Structure 1
């Protein structure tokens, strides 16, 4: 090997070693001083994952990944991946509400999706997200209970909505809501009728119909860092550093189905009204994008 080639190889090896050392130093700094690490990125107009401050992560939707479900969808928002399966079963109505069917939503954050979750009973975060999802479905009347009635007082549909996180990288609620709404749009239930002779419900083997859906809300979540940075779609790294979180869910007409504001601390330098106004405006545009993705993916 010539002297020049030797020097070039040595220089390349030195550059690679220097680059690796810089990456390792950045990783150590992010673990020891996460607040400063995030702050330095935001001061330059970027996020640690390469997005600008107000950017959202890429979204993809795959329909019908679960063949045994009546409707299903798999959603990816960045590295966060959620799968939703919908199952319809015949049930007896509540005596107090003989014309109402049932909707039973649940979000599972298993230990396999992230080191932050442990095996055992559902985590507090999973229970909270399940409650939020239930509130959203009820407030928006996505599945009106009266429309799930087969025969008043005798038989109704019970719609089970199960969402499982496959990989967790923050903003699980937005991903779960998108997966649920996409799966509900694909759900087909068999034609059902009451047979007086046998006193039971008979279901068609061939005729299937879409669910009687009402409003289809979609969710947009934000974090507020250092009382001045509004961060859409926070990641798992950013979420523990955020003092305030906001979630806005809007239906097809732009009406709110759910608005949540959580967290401690003030928002010095930024009025609450202005902050909510900015988030609302961003959410309106984002929801339009999500609806387009949902339609084009079918």
Structure 2
């Protein structure tokens, strides 16, 4: 009679991670195993990011599109444009005629002041980001449920960052018309009819998560950035005979957007043992770059840094968002900003190789 094989005395990694997630992460971070730096449960070092992979112009029905993947987080972004007629605006913004030029809207134009960019684009809602989490992107999102708080929060954060960074030039969104000179104008050659704003382009930026494994904001913003850098708007003008906006079908007439820099979002999460019971008497904490879903569930303190290296003053800090916890002070924040600057170089290189 053969005896039954004895039960194993230890749990598998999958069971250990499910039953005791915090001790499991702690065991990985403290069990160095002869390595110089601790490894996380995903085998990355604490300051190691997932390599972004970008494909652009994947959607033919959009003015611009991009697919971005960082690890198991995959997101697709499509940009489509609709025309907003000035006659349909209840309270149109008061734009000085001196800031308008008939060729405004072409790539490289920069006739609008920062104050006008800040006022016109948000006042008229010319940039409309929308985020959707697809069914199957994560076990937490089931079919038939209403929009989640995460999707709404991400959409609002994207809109706020679009406005604060002035990423899109308002000149690219204006559709102008130069009235012809009248006989009265010919008598005064120094005076010409004022340029009129007949319409604006409204950009709808739709972002869909096909797979979500942590750090959704960085992936969504990277997809938005790559899509906008490859967006081409059709040439549009006011036809006085038809009294309507006419667009050219020629692809050669389409013009790209004159983006203001390349602001990149870089996020971190802090794993603090004192936030979890039964983790020992010694308090320890680690700052984890580009956290995945498993790590986000164990971290309360998060930091998001937005940096832009395309500045005459070198690397520029565009935004800092911090929530929860007290671990990140001045010294750690300075180190985080330094790591964000290196991450910007990686994103900028990948976007450039993708055609941006």
Q: Indicate whether the TM-score tops 0.5.
A: yes
1:91 aligns with one of 84, 94, 98:
84
CA shift for structure 1 position 182: 0.5
CA distance in 2, matches of 1:177, 1:77: 12
Give aligned pairs, total: 277
Q: Which residue of 2 aligns with 1:294?
A: 351
Larger deviation: 107-116 or 169-178?
107-116
Q: Which residue of 2 aligns with 1:134?
A: 159
Say whether the 8 Å CA contact 1:75–1:179 is kept in structure 2: yes
2:319 aligns with one of 248, 251, 258:
258
CA shift for structure 1 position 256: 2.3
Q: Which residue of 2 aligns with 1:35?
A: 22
Is the counterpart of residue 233 in structure 1 residue 233 in structure 2? no
CA shift for structure 1 position 146: 4.7
2:256 aligns with one of 191, 204, 210:
210
Which structure's residues are more often helix, by fraction? 1
- Residue aligned with 1:158, SS: strand
Say whether the 8 Å CA contact 2:66–2:223 is kept in structure 1: yes
RMSD: 2.1
Gap runs ≥5 in structure 1: 1-13
Deviation per CA, 1:152-174: give whole Å up to 9, x if none.
45311001111110000001110
Q: Which residue of 1 aligns with 2:115?
A: none
Deviation per CA, 1:269-289: give whole Å up to 9, x if none.
xx6111211110000011111
CA shift for structure 1 position 238: 0.4
Deviation per CA, 1:198-243: give whole Å up to 9, x if none.
1111111111110232232111000011162010000011001012
Say whether the 8 Å CA contact 2:225–2:262 is kept in structure 1: yes
Is the counterpart of residue 148 in structure 1 residue 173 in structure 2? yes
Change (3 A) 1:131 1:241: same
CA shift for structure 1 position 293: 1.0
CA distance in 2, matches of 1:108, 1:22: 44
- Residue aligned with 1:114, SS: coil
Normalized against structure 1, the TM-score is what?
A: 0.87
Larger deviation: 115-124 or 169-178?
115-124
- Residue aligned with 2:293, SS: coil
- Residue aligned with 2:61, SS: coil
1:158 aligns with one of 202, 206, 209:
202
CA shift for structure 1 position 22: 9.3
2:127 aligns with one of 98, 103, 106:
103
Say whether the 8 Å CA contact 1:38–1:47 is kept in structure 2: yes
CA distance in 1, matches of 2:152, 2:208: 13
Q: Which residue of 2 aligns with 1:276?
A: 333
- Residue aligned with 1:60, SS: strand
Change (3 A) 1:219 1:22: farther
Q: Which residue of 1 aligns with 2:149?
A: 124
Change (3 A) 1:144 1:37: same
Q: Which residue of 2 aligns with 1:169?
A: 213
Change (3 A) 1:199 1:24: farther
Q: Which residue of 1 aligns with 2:269?
A: 223
Normalized against structure 2, the TM-score is what?
A: 0.73
Q: Which residue of 1 aligns with 2:100?
A: none
Change (3 A) 1:91 1:24: farther
CA shift for structure 1 position 186: 0.7
